[in-house]
């Protein structure tokens, strides 16, 4: 498959980001490209959370959710 | 495509520390089972208990209420929720909406305490007038009002949405400063002090932060996924969370092990020294003559507001038919 863009909405900020990739990438690699850890972020495609080993293709749209707490709790 | 290790449907999550794939339904069951095991193992609840759930509107309190509601009939407890409208601009408006929607969906009575109505002020103003950092004022106000609500509705326990990541971070932070008394408060539950403080339980003790998010998301529970505008990213907690999670990546299950072991050793940590007394204004728990809430409100607003808060909650609870409590 030719190189292309993966479009991602970064949540909770809501910022739209594009990742230029040579070929389909694993979710774990996409998270690395976004500077996030798979322990604290989730990639969602069409409302379904993806596994770290799932693959996202150029041209696809995903949401990358940084899991966070609202504020101080203890 | 990886399949659920239980039913072979397409998997939506991989639990690294158990090396198993789960589909949506079995994932929800997995989290509810974690909560069930924590409730049993740490003897957090009993039949006929009234549990007051502190509802912020965020993912953890949403997961907390969702899982507790799912296990309601199995354990035979009753749920009541409390939400404090902190008056932190748009963030509080959205939090309130999420809390209201959630309580309605799960059919749990909700006591709402808007600070602007009860105190005539908000957290940012109170912090300003009291000359204290907003996060410290906010934490204290939330602890006070949640406990006051629990006392007024005669709850047997207050349920808090602290997840394993939060607690692991607080544990490390307290350890680094050798504040061992603070660690003694990080167990799965604390005991009540008659009519002055209601014991707190942490049903999400073994649930990871990401698991908490996925549970609320997959179950379609309303929650606000935003950061409080006062969150300071330079805080030690933020850095420690990164450290804890990079360790977890290398050693899956590290956070659960830390929390399970902490629960086993919690009694060995020294408890804070000093007498436990009652506030001369509001009658609730304090280490001195006046509780922190009455002291701050007296300084910032000219009047100790504890009694007014208790009166406000009492009238709300009466309207909701929660008191007098029928046992």
B206-241 residue pLDDT tens: 999 999 999 999 999 999 999 899 988 878 888 899
Searching chain A, which residue's CA lies closest to the CA of residue B136? A72
Indicate the residue of A48, A67, A71 with minimum beta-carbon distance to B213: A67
What is the pLDDT at residue B129? 92
CATH of B28-273, one of 1.10.274.10, 3.40.50.300, 3.90.79.10, 3.40.50.620: 3.40.50.620
> Among B11, B12, B25, which would you mutate to test the A interface (most chain A Cβ atoms within 10 Å of its Cβ)?
B12
Distance from CA of B226 to the nearest CA of A (A): 6
User: In angstroms, how far apart are the furthest CA atoms of chain B?
Assistant: 64
Distance CA B198, CA B304 (A): 21
Tell me which residues of chain B have a pLDDT lower than 50.
Answer: none
Q: What is the CA radius of gyration of chain B?
A: 20
Domain boundaries defined on chain A: 4-66
- Give residue A1's pLDDT band: very low, low, confident or very high (50, 70, 90): low
Look at the block and give the residue holding tokens 């339980």. B201
DSSP state of A23: S
Q: Bridge-partner residues for B110, per DSSP?
A: B81
What is the pLDDT at residue B193? 86
Searching chain A, which residue's CA lies closest to the CA of residue B170? A74
CATH of A4-66, one of 3.40.1190.20, 3.10.20.30, 3.20.20.70, 1.10.150.20: 3.10.20.30
What is the pLDDT at residue B272? 87
CB contact under 8 A, A51 and B13: yes
* Chain pair A-B, CB pairs under 8 angstroms: 87
Q: Does B161 touch chain A (CB under 8 A)?
A: yes
CB < 8 Å to B161, chain A: 73
Distance CA B2, CA B236 (A): 38
Q: What is the CA radius of gyration of chain A?
A: 13
Distance CA A64, CA A60 (A): 13
8 A C-beta contact, residue B85 and residue B92: yes
* Burial (Cβ within 10 Å: 0-12, 13-18, ≥19) of residue B131: exposed
Nearest to B219 by CA among B35, B31, B36: B31
Is residue A28 helix, strand or coil?
helix
CB contact under 8 A, A68 and B161: no
Q: Bridge-partner residues for A10, per DSSP?
A: A15, A64
- Give residue A2's pLDDT band: very low, low, confident or very high (50, 70, 90): low
Q: What backbone torsions phi and psi does residue B89 show, to the nearest 5 degrees?
A: 50, -145
Q: Does B137 touch chain A (CB under 8 A)?
A: no
- Dump pLDDT digits (tens) for B239-290: 899 899 999 999 999 999 999 999 999 999 999 888 889 999 999 999 999 9
Pairing of strands A4-11, A61-66: parallel
What is the pLDDT at residue A70? 64
Q: Bridge-partner residues for B201, per DSSP?
A: B159, B189
């Amino acid at each position: 498959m030719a190189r292309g863009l993966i479009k991602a909405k970064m949540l909770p900020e809501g910022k739209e980001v594009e990742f230029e990739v040579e070929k389909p990438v694993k979710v774990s690699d996409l998270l690395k490209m976004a500077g996030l850890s798979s322990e604290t972020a989730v990639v969602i495609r069409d409302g379904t959370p993806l596994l770290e080993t799932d693959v996202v293709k150029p041209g696809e749209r995903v949401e990358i959710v940084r899991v966070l707490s609202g504020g101080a709790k203890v | 495509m990886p399949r659920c290790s239980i039913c072979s449907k397409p998997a939506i999550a991989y639990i690294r520390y158990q090396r198993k794939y789960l589909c949506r339904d079995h994932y929800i069951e997995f989290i509810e089972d974690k909560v069930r095991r924590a409730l049993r193992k740490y003897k957090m609840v009993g039949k006929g208990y009234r549990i007051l759930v502190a509802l912020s509107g965020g993912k953890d309190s949403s997961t907390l209420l969702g899982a507790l509601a799912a296990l309601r009939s199995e354990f035979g407890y009753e749920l009541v929720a409390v939400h404090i409208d902190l008056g932190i601009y748009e963030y509080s408006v959205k939090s309130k909406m999420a809390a209201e929607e959630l309580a309605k969906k799960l059919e749990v009575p909700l006591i709402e305490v808007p600070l602007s109505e009860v105190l005539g002020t908000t957290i940012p103003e109170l912090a300003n007038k009291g000359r204290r950092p907003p996060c410290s004022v906010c934490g204290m106000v939330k602890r006070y009002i949640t406990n006051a609500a629990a006392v007024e509705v005669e709850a047997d326990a207050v349920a808090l949405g602290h997840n394993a990541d939060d607690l692991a971070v607080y544990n490390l932070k307290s350890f680094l400063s050798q504040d061992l008394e603070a660690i003694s408060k990080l167990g799965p539950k604390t005991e009540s002090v008659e009519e002055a403080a209601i014991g707190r339980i942490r049903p999400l003790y073994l649930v990871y932060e990401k698991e908490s998010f996925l549970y609320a998301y997959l179950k379609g529970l309303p929650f606000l996924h935003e950061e409080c505008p006062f969150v300071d990213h330079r805080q030690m907690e933020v850095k420690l969370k990164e450290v804890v999670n990079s360790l977890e990546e290398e050693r899956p299950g590290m956070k659960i092990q830390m929390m399970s072991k902490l629960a086993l050793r919690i009694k060995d940590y020294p408890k804070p020294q000093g007498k436990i007394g009652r506030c001369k204004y509001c009658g609730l728990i304090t280490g001195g003559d006046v509780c922190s809430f009455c002291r701050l409100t007296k300084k910032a607003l000219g009047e100790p507001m504890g009694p007014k808060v208790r009166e406000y909650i009492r009238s709300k609870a009466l309207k909701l038919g929660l008191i007098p409590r029928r046992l």
